[in-house]
Amino acid sequence: MSFCIAIDGPAAAGKGTISKAVAAHFGFAHLDTGLLYRAVGAKTFEGLSPIEAAEGLAAEDLSRDDLRSGDAGQAASRVAAIPEVRSALVDFQQAFARREGGAVLDGRDIGTVICPDAEVKLYVTASDEVRAERRQKELTGKGEDVSVEEVLADLRERDERDAARATAPLKPAEDAVVIDTTEMSIEEAVAKVIALIEARRG
């Protein structure tokens, strides 16, 4: 039986961490769809056009070491605004969502475009400042020398581009439950989401 959980939201709001924890709790498969766009963006550094990179994307491209860098994040946001790139990646995501045994997908347009019929739709958000602090800790932990102010400017630029794009803009689905993690620990956020999903599953 398939059961799809769609988790959307801006960068560093906690959706990835929550998604992994929820998938582990229920024994569901997990797909960070942002990695698809990061992988396409990273492949453009090698001279491929975004559309070529998307159409030729392979599973092993999702395990590249450079996908979590700031450069890959900016490249992902740029290529994600190209309708042909999004179209090339839709089938992959939709097939994953309906696999047997359940699936959790996190991204920016899962509940609105990829899986509008998902059994559970969540939109995870947090204040810009808290998201910037979280992302800066993550990046400095990986050896990148960036200030909170630089990360905040980068996040706001990505948010604006993602929300303004004509195809699949970043926004909550009309029937999504909004989870604001600004004042929550990750444990509290995960517990809240698990309780919500269990209520939906009956």
For the whole prediction, is pTM greater than 0.75? yes
What's residue 155's pLDDT? 94
Rounded to the nearest 10 degrees, the angle between the axes of helix 148-164 and helix 70-79 is 10
How many angstroms separate the first and last alpha carbons of the chain? 15
* Residues facing residue 123 across a β-bridge: 8, 178
Identity (one letter) of the amino acid at 40?
V
Question: Starting from the edge strand earliest in sequence, which strands make up the sheet with 29-32, in order?
Answer: 29-32, 103-107, 4-8, 120-125, 177-180
Local confidence pLDDT in tens for the 202 residues of the chain: 899 999 999 999 999 999 999 999 999 999 999 899 999 999 999 999 999 999 999 888 999 999 988 889 889 989 998 999 999 999 889 989 999 999 999 999 999 999 999 999 999 999 999 999 999 999 999 899 999 999 999 999 989 998 888 888 889 999 999 999 999 999 999 999 999 999 998 7
Q: Which residues are annotated as a binding site?
A: 9-17
What's residue 119's pLDDT? 97
CA angle 164, 63, 108 (to 5 degrees): 20
Each residue of 123-166: pLDDT tens digit? Answer: 999 999 999 999 999 999 989 999 999 999 999 998 999 888 88
What's residue 1's pLDDT? 81
What's residue 99's pLDDT? 92
Q: Which residues are annotated as a binding site for ATP?
A: 9-17
The correct answer on CATH 2.170.190.11 for the domain covering 4-201 is no
Task: Specify the 3-state DSSP secondary structure of 59.
Answer: helix
What's residue 91's pLDDT? 86
Share of the chain above pLDDT 70, in %: 100
Buried b (16+ CB within 10 A) or exposed e, 125-135: bbeeebbbbbb
What's residue 166's pLDDT? 85
What's residue 38's pLDDT? 95
Maximum distance among all Cα pairs of the chain, rounded to whole angstroms:
50
In angstroms, rounded to a whole number, what is the distance separating the alpha carbons of residues 89 and 54?
7
Secondary structure E strands in the chain: 4-8, 29-32, 103-107, 120-125, 177-180
